[in-house]
Amino acid sequence: MLRVIRSTIQGLNIDADLEDDYAAAAEAGELLHETHTSDKNLTIEVRAYTDPAGQNRFAVLYTHGADLDWHDTSDYTEARNSYEESVRETEKGVTLDVDDDDNEIPLFDTTDVRGVANYEEGSEESGEAEAYLLLAEWATAEAEKAQEIAAEKTQARQAAYALAIDTFGRGGNAVLARRVGKSEPTVKDIADRGRLILEAQRREQFSVDLFEDNAGGLYLRKAGDTTGWSLGAGAEHTCGPFTDDAKAWRDGDWEPNQGDGQTPNYGMDVTNLTHIATWSAKKGLKVINGQAGGPAAGAAGSIYLKLTRHATTLGAWGNYTPHGTIEESAIAALGDAAGQYNIAGIARDWRQAVNEALPDGVSLTNVAFTGPVYPNFPMEGLELDAVINEVDFQKIAARHKL
């Protein structure tokens, strides 16, 4: 059924406040059929468009000077027939001019309606083909959407069955089977699938926050829980790294428990704790930065997160006694070799070599003489190790032997 969306000829049958939105959408639609006079003072068109409500429609537009009439329908055949009828009736209702030989001059300069003067054989075919291609695309999209909705409803039912049975407890299969009028094996099968869905959702949504107190104590809390877990003294050395613990917790291979030395804090108040990191199944590890711009983690948190390089003081080599640090495994590469080294030069060149090997936008700071080594944005510790291990520290040290 044709619907009037804008007209100076007749009243509207859509909300007048939506007239401009509908007309603008229709005017921007795909032109399928067109008939017009040479000066285009009179045009009649069919356009395919999507209305503001998201419905696929076909619009029939009739304009003659200041007069206009926009109609639309969801039925292409109805739109095309209305268009062709308008073209034919308009031609019939106009007294045509004649040329010097008394031959009638066609009203329309261009038309694709059979039986109307100036029609060219087959001119309507491209519009027909485009219309049916659009119909096929729309139908495909709608079918896929319907399948998606059906799948979502099926999964929702499966999850609901699983939750209902688990809530009922023992005998839940029988209770639900009577309630929904299905056999117990059928109900059990549906619920088993639902549990798989619920488990997949749990894994996907799994997230753990890591906190640290002023004394270096570390605390874990799973997203959605109010209970936090204190990891205990020295946990940064005996647990972790944090990413591994979080993944194991998600996968059911580990969780904080008193048997492993973790203490539950029911309704844990995090007001006086520092949030230093979050691991989520979707986004992986996110290290929280502090006010100074570097990681908010303190010494214990940095070790648990694998942000701090294990370091040692190099001692008095030559006439220089550094008080800073270089990565321990790199120092070991020197062994107990006799000789003296320019430690400042080794640290500078080693840092430069590591930075050149890192991806764009990632660099090491504080490599020497100022303490821990941090990336300027978080990297997994193993990724950083891989880069550092590629740098030949011995060659660098050899260049600075005194």
The string of pLDDT tens digits covering residues 104-148 is 889 999 999 999 999 999 999 999 999 999 999 999 888 988 898
The per-residue pLDDT for 359 is 67
* SS percent in the chain: helix, strand, coil, step 5: 40, 20, 40
Phi, psi of 207 (to 5 degrees): -155, 140
The per-residue pLDDT for 89 is 92
CA separation (Å) from 49 to 3, 54, 240?
14, 9, 57
Cis peptide before 322 (omega within 30 of 0): no
Give the three-state DSSP class for 110: strand
Residue 326's CB is within 10 A of a number of other CB atoms, namely 25
Residues 6+ apart with CB under 8 A from 210: 218, 219, 220, 242, 275, 276, 277, 278, 279, 301, 304, 305
The per-residue pLDDT for 317 is 26
* Burial of residue 68, with CB atoms counted within 10 A of its CB: 0-12 exposed, 13-18 middle, 19 or more buried: middle
Residue 144's CB is within 10 A of a number of other CB atoms, namely 10
Phi, psi of 170 (to 5 degrees): -60, 130
Give the three-state DSSP class for 88: helix
The per-residue pLDDT for 98 is 79
Alpha carbons 281 and 294: distance in angstroms, whole number: 24
Residues 6+ apart with CB under 8 A from 10: 4, 69
Residue from 176, 152, 150 nearest 162 by CA: 176
The per-residue pLDDT for 328 is 39
The per-residue pLDDT for 94 is 83
The per-residue pLDDT for 112 is 95
The per-residue pLDDT for 372 is 40
Counting as low any pLDDT under 70, the low residues of the chain are: 292-294, 308-344, 347, 359-390, 393-394, 401-402
Write out pLDDT tens, residues 160-194. Answer: 999 899 888 888 899 899 988 999 999 999 999 99
End-to-end CA distance of the chain: 95
